Copies of this chain bind each other. A is one copy, B any other.
Amino acid sequence: MSAEEGPRPPHPSLRSGRDPGRGRTIATVCLSGTLEDKIVAAAGAGFDGIEVFEPDLVASPWSPAELAARCADLGLSIDLYQPFRDLDSTDPARFARNLRRLERKFDVMAGLGVDTVLVCSSVADDAVDDPDLLAEQLAAAAARAGERGLRIAYEALAWGRHVSTWEGSWDAVRRAGSPALGLCLDSFHVLSRGGDPAGFAQVPADKLFFLQLADAPRLAMDVLQWSRHHRLFPGQGAFDLPGFLGHVRAAGYTGPLSLEVFNDVYRQADPARTAVDAMRSLQWLEEARAVGGQESGRSVPPPAPALSGYSFTELAVDGVSGPQVAGVLAALGFTHTGQHRSKPVQLWEQGSARVLLNASVVRPAAAGVASVAALGLESADPPRSARRAGAMSAPVLPRSRGAAEADLAAVAAPDGTQVFFTRTGPDGWPADFLPTGATAGPGSGLTGVDHVGLTQPFDAFDEAGLFYRAVLGLEPQEVTELAAPFGLVRTRAVTGPDRAVRLALSVAVLRRGGWAPAVPEPQYVAFATDDIVATARALRAAGAPLLGMPANYVDDLAARFDLPDDLLAAVREHGLMYEEDAHGGYLHLATEVLGDRVFFEVVQRIGGYDGYGSADAPVRMAAHRRRRQAARADAHAR
């Protein structure tokens, strides 16, 4: 192993004057659009460098030197040229042609001013199976690179013909013994095959030329398809990226952290938004890897303060939907206890559940719409929550504040929902509300907010999971899929460690077309009760618009579960829904949709049930659809 023990060449980021270990890089293949769109997006999100994905350059009218100049103008370094495929060959004539092809790419690299090319293990029929011949061919290529001051980072594709593990790629690099040849480690290729990154420690640091990072969901599919369509940014999937990065850093890698994510959704989504999402993934990863700043020389975001629950949920209403929602809140047992000092905002309370009805939110939607506009989350340190959000690339919202009003910090979530960091107390946000004089009645048994259900824009689902994880410190849970009447729906909850905050995020698995209902799936607020039958009885007595469930649904429950007769009767009478998981049961009910976009649920968790009733969602959606159709028919008849 003498070849690896010579003096270590400086990393290019050092040569270019950049501090080591501080580079955040993104491969252009991660982003949609033309090359111009991509570099503008990467720079806008604060990346330091890019990997140039060859097909992006091939389709560009810019010469390599022009691209380099534009990147320099934007403050972006070019850290890698990739990929070069199928270098080695058992056919000497073809290998000679491959070397000529490589030389032409060296010409391109000279124009770009990049010194490292990614060569991935061959997938061709003529790939070399003989370790010595492979090392010989890699060494020959590296010699040519070295002559031009360039170097080759060799990467094992998980589906490479003969080299498909990082150990295989390291064996070839070690045998070749060329100073201009080293490894590119890619988290997807290693972790998708169950590889062990602890072994990186055996590789001399100066052979760790480059690091590509991607997360992924656990999928049982061909690894090539998995890689090409379903990669995710770190923190969005199921891989242990912090652990992986820890092993890479422990092995002495000092180069940039570079994202290489092939993902069908990101390929067609707004690249400016994707780039911010990508940046947040690295911020999250750096923090998860080493709280306290060992990973990065940058300023360290303050840790996320604990969130102890919902202080309020705010609905945007108008002159039509406002009275309708207020009437339903009253029927749910809420009391209108406060009126905002300077804005047309009502405060409704029951137990620790508080709902704001805000008639001042300007929305382009049609008249009569009500929607979830904001969530108030109770933070142990609201200013720190806001600082952390800003440090995690969350858009912090400007606030207009009246005299004697609380200074509420808020950020915009990916779906546009405003998230306020609050501290509920005498000098907190409730002080902005003047008492109406109404005193809270006995209520209907609602004790607080269990969770909020937020349907996400199609492109924002994975972004949203990471947003809540990185910005708020919530943990994404398992992804579930269900067959709803108008197409598949994917749901993923993000939760606080003690479940004081739960959000159920959902999205259509395929973006809907003309046949889908014109109105998107409504958002909802789920209130908790300890006795849903008593609550349901109170709600019905008060005339709350509860959604009925079909008799077939109850018959099916009776067939599937051993429910006591009185409970089954209550389920049938009150339109309850029921499901179980391994830990317990879940009783819930829904109101009709109010203002076209929102409804309320009442839920009772029994035992350790940890879900969100998503198995019942198709039945609930079909019932909502029937109610909507019936309401339209009524409106036409009138």
Contacts and interface: CB of A to CB of B under 8 A. Distances in A.
Interface of A: 29, 32-34, 54-55, 57-64, 97, 100-101, 104-105, 107-108, 219-222, 224-225, 229, 264-265, 267-271, 457-459, 483, 485-488, 508-516, 550-553, 555-556, 558-560, 562, 618-619, 622-623, 625-626
B485 A34 contact: yes
B34 A622 contact: yes
Contact of A59 (B108, B514, B553, B558): B553
Given A61-B626, A555-B104, A619-B58, A487 B550 contact: no
Number of copies of chain A assembled together: 2
Given A97-B562, A222-B220, A268-B508, A485 B63 contact: no
Nearest to A458: B513
A59 B104 contact: no
A62 B551 CA distance: 8
Contact of A513 (B222, B271, B459, B625): B459
Given A59-B552, A63-B551, A220-B224, 10 more contacts: A104-B555, A104-B558, A107-B555, A220-B221, A265-B510, A268-B512, A268-B513, A271-B515, A511-B511, A511-B513
A193 to B, nearest CB: 15
B515 A32 contact: yes
Contacts of A105: 559
Nearest to A37: B485
A124 to B, nearest CB: 13
A222 B220 CA distance: 5
Contacts of A57: 552
A558 B58 CA distance: 12
Contacts of A513: 268-269, 457-459, 511
Given A32-B485, A34-B626, A550-B60, A270 B511 contact: no
A230 to B, nearest CB: 11
A562 B100 CA distance: 11
Contacts of A100: 559
Contacts of A59: 485, 550, 552-553, 618-619, 622-623
Nearest to A100: B559
8 contacts: A32-B515, A34-B485, A54-B556, A58-B552, A107-B555, A267-B510, A268-B486, A268-B513
A30 to B, nearest CB: 12
B222 A555 contact: no
A229 B229 CA distance: 15
B63 A552 contact: yes
A150 to B, nearest CB: 16
B514 A511 contact: no
Contacts of A108: 552, 555
A434 B468 CA distance: 69
Contacts of A229: 488
A58 B578 CA distance: 13
Nearest to A270: B515
Contacts of A562: 97
Given A32-B486, A486-B33, A268 B104 contact: no
Nearest to A33: B485
A558 B101 CA distance: 8
A221 B225 CA distance: 9
B264 A550 contact: no
B516 A55 contact: no
A285 to B, nearest CB: 26
A101 B559 contact: yes
A81 to B, nearest CB: 12
A267 B488 contact: yes
